[in-house]
Amino acid sequence: MFRMLKLRPPHGWLAVVWELVIVAVGVLLALGAQQAAESLNGGREAAETRATVTNEIKETLAILELRKAAQPCIDNRLKEVRAIVDQWGRTGNFKTPRWVSQATWFAVSTARFDAAQSAGRLARLSSEEQYRLGLVVGNLRSFQDIQSKEIEKWGTLRMLQTGADALSASDRTAIRMALQDASTLNYLAKITVGQTLQQAASYGWRANMRRARQTMALAWKDGKFAPTICLPIDTPPDQANRETGMIYNLPE
């Protein structure tokens, strides 16, 4: 018959239990230290992401402030152009405007937000922070899209500067359509600018003009924001470009 062997550790079972406890505690401490390190790094990454993206938003909000400042001039110019087009339709002629100009345009950048999103760093932020950032950035992209569409419409409106004799019936139709589109885009721009600035302010984000000033130095000789559309509509182009001090003259 086989006899059961009785296993007995040389130092007793109590010693084995203590060794197992020590190993388990060591593993738990190692895991805890790793988790703490990951949490620390995650917190640091979240803070860096938050600062980087919000700074970009504040710098881009400056573009909306510039549009807001020029808005009365844009509204007035659209009224003037509409009066010219209406006169053209009634009489077949109109007083040729010298300087139709266009709505202001500035490049809108969300590059830092896009980079953070692609790298998955936005996931480090709370859901509320992600919502706020996404909402404002979405509005900024919408404004950029509005600006891009406005350029084409105002280019068509500047055809009025050639005078009624140089324009055909089809040109008049194109100008009427461009005027309606420009008016609609202007309306959307006002809504987007007003709501975005208000939302951003409620989150504690206000425009930082530092980068906008750098951009203005690339567009105006004296670095001061001088919307060309604020000049009278009968201003000769050479005089208009000279008075606004733009480095790159607006196309006629």
Least confident of 52-56, 131-135, 187-191, 211-215: 211-215
Residues 114-157: tens digit of each pLDDT? 999 999 999 999 999 999 999 999 999 999 999 999 999 999 99
Categorize the per-residue pLDDT at 37 as very low, low, confident or very high, splitting at 50, 70 and 90. Answer: very low
Closest CA to 162 of 91, 78, 88, 90: 88
R_g of the chain, CA atoms, integer Å:
32
Helix, strand and coil in the chain, % to nearest 5: 75, 0, 25
Cα separation of the two ends of the chain: 112
CA 206 to chain centre: 13
Residues 77-126: tens digit of each pLDDT? 999 999 999 999 999 999 999 999 999 999 898 999 999 999 999 999 99
Categorize the per-residue pLDDT at 18 as very low, low, confident or very high, splitting at 50, 70 and 90. Answer: low
Q: What is the pTM of this model?
A: 0.81
Tokens of 237: 């182009």
Closest CA to 58 of 123, 118, 109: 109
Residue 66 has pLDDT above 60, yes or no: yes
Closest CA to 205 of 54, 52, 48: 54
Instruction: Give the list of residues 6+ apart from residue 110 with CB closer than 8 angstroms, or none.
Output: 56, 60, 137, 140, 141
Residues 161-179: tens digit of each pLDDT? 999 999 999 999 999 999 9
